[in-house]
C-alpha cells in the first residue's frame, strides 16, 4: 500500500502507517494478508536515469495494490507531467486500475497557504464511486489536473474520499 501525500501531512502519514501495522497485528495471520506501507521518504531507492517522480511512480505506485492519498494545506510540488507529485501518483494508480483512497484534512489552513493550488481539487463533500460507475465522476475529474484545472473523464476503478 502506497501512502501518497505532500510534505505537510507527516503526522497523518505516520498515523496511516501505524494503522496498517496495527491491522497486520490483528488480522494478518487469520487473513493470510499483510499491509506493507510504502512511503517515498523511507521506501524508495535512489536511482539515476529519470525524473525523481518517475522513479517514485515506478517503485511505489506500480508495486502497490492500493494508494492512500492524504492532503492537508497543499497539493505538493509540481512535476513535468502533473500539478504535483501526489496528483501524478493518484493519476497513475487510477490508470492502472488500482484502488485509490483520498483523505482531506479538515484542520484550519495555515495563514501562508496558497489556496489557489487547492482550488478545483478538494471536493466539497466526501463521496464514494463504485467500480461499476460508468458515468463521469467528480472524483476522477478532480484527479485529472495535469493542466492545473480539473477535466472530466471516467474511471473504472473504485476510489473513495474522506476527511480527517
For the chain, list residues with pLDDT below 50.
123-159
* Structure confidence at residue 146 (pLDDT): 33
State the pLDDT at residue 82.
Answer: 92
Q: Are 141 and 133 in contact (CB under 8 A)?
A: no
The pLDDT value given to residue 142:
39
pLDDT (0 to 100) of residue 138: 32
Residue with cell 512511503: 39
φ and ψ of 97, to 5 deg = 75, 25
Closest CA to 63 of 28, 98, 91, 95: 98
pLDDT at 135: 25
Q: Where are the domains of the chain?
A: 2-163
Model pLDDT, residue 115: 75
Amino acid at each position: 500500500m502506497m501512502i501518497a501525500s505532500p510534505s505537510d501531512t507527516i503526522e497523518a502519514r505516520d498515523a496511516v502507517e501505524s494503522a496498517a501495522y496495527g491491522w497486520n497485528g490483528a488480522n494478518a495471520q487469520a487473513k493470510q494478508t499483510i499491509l506493507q506501507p510504502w512511503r517515498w521518504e523511507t521506501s524508495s531507492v535512489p536511482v539515476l536515469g529519470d525524473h525523481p517522480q518517475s522513479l517514485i511512480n515506478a517503485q511505489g505506485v506500480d508495486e502497490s495494490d492500493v494508494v492512500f492519498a492524504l492532503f492537508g494545506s497543499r497539493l505538493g510540488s509540481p512535476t513535468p507531467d502533473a500539478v504535483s507529485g501526489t496528483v501524478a501518483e493518484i493519476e497513475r494508480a487510477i490508470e492502472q486500475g488500482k484502488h485509490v483512497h483520498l483523505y482531506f484534512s479538515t484542520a484550519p489552513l495555515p495563514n501562508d497557504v496558497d489556496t489557489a493550488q487547492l482550488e478545483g481539487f478538494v471536493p466539497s463533500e466526501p463521496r464514494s464511486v463504485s467500480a461499476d460507475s460508468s458515468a463521469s465522476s467528480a472524483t476522477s475529474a478532480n484527479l485529472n489536473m495535469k493542466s492545473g484545472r480539473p477535466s472530466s473523464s471516467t474511471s473504472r476503478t473504485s476510489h473513495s474520499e474522506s476527511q480527517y
